[in-house]
Amino acid sequence: MAGRVAGKVAIVTGAASGLGRAMALGLAGSGMHVVAVDRDAANLATLKPAGVGRVGAVLHHAADLSRPDIFEGVVGAALKEFGRIDVLVNNAGVAIDGLAVRTKDDDWDRTLDTNLKGAFALCRAAARPMMKQRSGAIVNLTSVVGEMGNVGQAAYAASKAGLIGLTKSLARELSSRNIRVNAVSPGFIDTDMTAGMNAELKAKMTEAIPLGRLGTADEVARAVLFLASDAASYVTGEVLKVNGGMYM
The answer, as to whether pTM is greater than 0.85, is yes
The predicted-structure confidence for 194-248, as pLDDT tens digits, reads as follows 777 788 888 988 999 999 999 999 999 999 999 999 999 999 999 999 999 999 9
Class of domain 2-189+217-240: alpha beta
Look at residue 2 and tell me whether its pLDDT is greater than 50.
no
* Residue 247 among the catalytic residues: no
Tell me whether strands 33-38 and 9-13 are parallel, antiparallel or unpaired.
parallel
The predicted-structure confidence for 31-77, as pLDDT tens digits, reads as follows 999 999 999 999 998 987 654 344 577 888 888 767 767 888 899 99
Mean pLDDT value of segment 18-43: 93
Task: Report pLDDT for 56.
Answer: 73
Amino acid of residue 123: C
C-alpha distances (whole Å) from 5 to each of 34, 61, 86, 139, 149 are 11, 22, 9, 14, 34
Look at residue 175 and tell me whether its pLDDT is greater than 60.
yes
Mean pLDDT of the chain: 92
User: How far is residue 26 CA from its own chain's centroid?
Assistant: 13
- The catalytically annotated residue of 156, 164, 240, 241 is 156
For helices 154-174 and 118-133, angle between their N-to-C axes, nearest 10 degrees? 10
- Domain residue spans in the chain? 2-189+217-240
